[in-house]
Amino acid sequence: MSVMKPLYTATRTLSVATALTVIFAGSAYALDGNDVAKRLQARFEEQGAKIEFSKVDTDGSTITLRDTKIDFKTPEVESIAVGDVVLSDVAEDGKGGYTAESATLQDIEKKDDKSTFVVKGIEIGKIHLASDDEQDPVVKMMYYQTMKADSLTVSEDGQEMVNMKDLYASSTPYTKGTPISVNFGVKSIDLDIEKMDAMRKKAEETADAADADATEETAEDTATPNPLLDLGYKKLSMVVTSTAAWEPEKGDFSIDKMEFDVKDVGKLDTTMKLGGYDVKFIKAVQQASAELNSNKENSDAVGMAMLGLIQQLSVSDLSIRYDDSSLTPKLLEYYAKQQGISSEDMVNQIKGIAPLMVGYLGHADFAMQATTAVNTYFDDPKSLTIAAKPEAPVSFALIAATATADPKKLLDLLAVKLTANQ
């Protein structure tokens, strides 16, 4: 007994100590789900949006926001119910903030009398909810790095009009003094032009029937024609791809690619470099937007303030390029048929009219340049590019002032050039 009693006492003491360790460790590292939720609300509020939920459940490192609704506080986008939002692998960041590996949302479905809007497979990744004491506004602003949705569909009267698949967006982690790279796009967009046109005609027929002053002409006779259908485009398929970069401290923002590639139509790509797009500018725009949403009666004053903010920006490079994929020949044939002439005659008409049209600008050099580009393109439709590349950045304020005083000078101010097949 003399041997067993000390052994029993030691074993019991170890068990109690272990239990206390587990209890106190659990208390020290347990996540406060409500605090995480409040932090998320604060970051949304700073972006001019509002997120609400009925309840917060915490299970280890998983936090679930029940019955979530997001209000973007804009007339165009109403409050959206996104159901339960599950934050996975949530942890403290050691600076009073939180990180989460991902947030998954339930499928979103919005309906009215005729329309149905559905988004499926939504997931947001690499989330960082900075502390309220964080002094760097970009750290608060960049609260996620990836976002995706498997599909987005829009239907009218049960007929699917729009089907998007694989929507995505991502950005590189933010480090002060280093540019943030951004890319987003949609891998597949299908538009049913035939169904859209049928719905449009139906709406026109309804409007005609309700119009007390309608003439005896039938809705079919007065319906607006759809050139896309006449050109043979019953359906359109496209891919959207974009890449950009932002230096918050300098205020430099560049769109390196904003491409819409439409199958059997063509490819439209826009590039741009802006200056003055810094954190201070974004905050001012957010403040003006919040004021507009809260005070509709003061919309004119807020609109003027917003215009003043935009004039602080500058542009140093702007380019819009179109690469043809059979649209131009179809358009030439379509309009030539309407006039009862051949496509070749149609091209000659365009070549003859082009010098007169650009001549109204009163800029001989640009007129010659544009005429050459038009002739080159319509002889062999490949690409058209209009670009503005001034020697130094030009403010939007100067652009607006020049456009008001003497629009012709904009061509020299922005160093505008039109080229074809290059």
The rounded Cα 339 to chain-centroid distance in angstroms is 41
> Would you state the pLDDT for residue 22?
35
- When mean pLDDT is compared across 181-190, 217-226, 336-345, the lowest value belongs to 217-226
Better-scored residue on pLDDT, 100 or 220: 100
Cβ contact 395:419 at 8 Å: no
pLDDT at 8: 39
Cα separation, 385 vs 374, whole angstroms: 11
pLDDT of 54: 95
Report the pLDDT averaged over residues 231-236: 94
Residue 223 has a pLDDT of: 61
Helix (H) or strand (E) holding 358: helix 343-359
pLDDT band at 287 (very low <50, low <70, confident <90, very high): confident
* pLDDT, the chain, mean: 86
Q: Say whether pLDDT at 275 is over 50.
A: yes
C-beta of residue 122 within 8 angstroms of C-beta of residue 148: yes
Write out the E strands in 97-232. 98-105, 108-111, 115-120, 123-129, 146-156, 159-171, 180-192
Q: How confident is the model at residue 219 (pLDDT cuts 50, 70, 90)?
A: very low
DSSP three-state, residue 169: strand
Nearest to 241, CA basis, from 273, 207, 275, 268: 268
What is the sign of the dihedral through the CA atoms of 383, 388, 390 and 393? negative
Is the pLDDT score of 26 beyond 70?
Answer: no
How far is the first Cα of the chain from the last one, in angstroms, to the nearest whole number?
99
* Least confident interval from 35-39, 185-189, 227-231, 348-352: 227-231
pLDDT for residue 345 is more than 70:
yes
Cβ pair 116, 98 in contact under 8 A? no
Label residue 283 by pLDDT band (50, 70, 90): confident
Residue with the two structure tokens 């004021």: 291
Most confident residue range from 178-182, 185-189, 200-204: 185-189
More confident residue, 181 or 220: 181
Please state the domain extents for the chain.
30-144, 149-243, 250-277+313-422
Average of per-residue pLDDT across 371-379: 96
Give the confidence band of 36 by pLDDT, cuts at 50, 70, 90.
very high
How many CA within 13 A on the CB side of residue 27? 5
* Confidence band of 1 (pLDDT split at 50, 70, 90): very low
Task: Give the tokens for residue 330.
Answer: 């179809």
pLDDT band at 361 (very low <50, low <70, confident <90, very high): confident
Torsion of CA 283, 285, 291, 294, to 10 degrees: -100
- pLDDT at 233 > cutoff 70: yes
Which residue carries 């918050």 as its tokens? 248
Which of 198, 168, 166 shows the shortest CA–CA distance to 183? 168
Q: Is the pLDDT of residue 215 over 80?
A: no
State residue 73's pLDDT score: 74
pLDDT on residue 41: 92
Instruction: Rounding to the nearest 10 degrees, give the CA dihedral for residues 279, 283, 289, 295.
Output: -170
Q: What is the pLDDT of residues 67-108, one digit of tens each?
A: 999 988 776 667 888 999 999 999 999 989 999 999 999 999
140 vs 261, residue with greater confidence = 261
Scored b (16 or more CB within 10 A) or e, 180-215 reads bebbbbbeebbbbbbbbbbbeeeeeeeebeeeeeee
Average pLDDT for residues 25-45, to the nearest whole number?
78
pLDDT of the residue at 19? 39
Instruction: Name which residue leads in pLDDT, 112 or 167.
Output: 167
